[in-house]
Amino acid sequence: MDKQDNAARRRGRPRGWDDKTAQNTIKSLDRAMEVFEYLSEGPGKALTALAGETGQSPATVYRILVTLEGRGLVEFDAEAQTWHIGPRAFVIGARFLRRTSLVDRARPILRRLMEATGETANLGIEQEGAVLFLSQVETHASIRAFFPPGTLSPMHSSGIGKALLAQMDAARLARWMGSVTPEAFTAHTITGQAALAAELAEIRARGYAIDNEERNLGMRCIAAPVCDMNGEAIAGISVSGPTSRVSSAEVARLSRAVIAAARELTQAIGGVLREG
């Protein structure tokens, strides 16, 4: 037994702590969590519906619900005769959110995205009408895109910027459009409001945005939004590189990887994926 094993057990990890087989699980707790998670997916459930949908007996489900109710994790609506998620569940969830760092959780995802695509992976958010780059994992290739943390980029000519704009509600998007005069950085930059609105509608439909040499000639970027617990886009993930590598023929493959990474980060921060 080495010192590391001893230290692990002193911190509360018994021998074989990494064994996730049935012998190391508490079946009753597992059943309770199944009911709790299932209840969280809807607006409220009757006891018989919960029992039938989880495949457990009404008596078992009732005992689980009463136990969870005692902890404030669920509550009972006597008038409607339905069970709901309780306020304690929110308190626990809020504690998770406090320890969740967008950048920290994004780093391994960005690294895997870079390795899968061979291109520089980026994380950015909207900051006062512009894209603020928070993190980046650079490709090993000699020719690369470079957006160091702290870099600001115009929304209309950025892959992440357009991915975020496409997810804004109509009123917020109208305010943004009324507050900026889009600058043409290259012949490919979209500056007209009608053309930009059409571009954003297309982005919403396909699930990802493309900066097609709109900020810098010879560079292309593919981005997808990251959503929070309310389903609102709070950040974007992208890959960027020279058009010689990020070619039109590669867009389909790269976009799938970017969308998957954005979804992974959304789930990692407790976010909700938008439908459609």
Same domain, 134 and 242: yes
CB 71 within 8 A of CB 88: yes
Position 273 in a domain: no
Same domain, 179 and 263: yes
The DSSP code for 257 is H
Position 133 in a domain: yes
Same domain, 83 and 129: no
What amino acid occupies position 22? A
* Tens digits of residue pLDDT in 66-90: 999 999 999 999 999 999 989 888 8
* Sheet strands side by side (includes 219-227): 152-154, 130-137, 120-127, 233-242, 219-227, 209-212
pLDDT at 270: 87
* Calpha distance 31→56 (Å, rounded): 8
Same domain, 144 and 90: no
pTM summary value: 0.69
In this prediction, residues 151-171 reach a mean pLDDT of 94
CB 196 within 8 A of CB 236: no
pLDDT at 8: 44
Q: Could you tell me what percent of the chain has a pLDDT over 90?
A: 66
Residue that finishes a domain, picked among 44, 69, 96: 96
* Structural domain of 261: 100-268
Same domain, 127 and 84: no
Q: How confident is the model at residue 14 (pLDDT cuts 50, 70, 90)?
A: low
Same domain, 25 and 52: yes
Position 276 in a domain: no
Position 155 in a domain: yes
In this prediction, residues 161-186 reach a mean pLDDT of 93
> Could you tell me which residue, 13 or 25, shows the higher pLDDT?
25
Same domain, 18 and 85: yes
Q: How confident is the model at residue 163 (pLDDT cuts 50, 70, 90)?
A: very high
The CATH number for 104's domain is 3.30.450.40
Maximum separation of any 2 CA atoms in the chain, in Å: 69
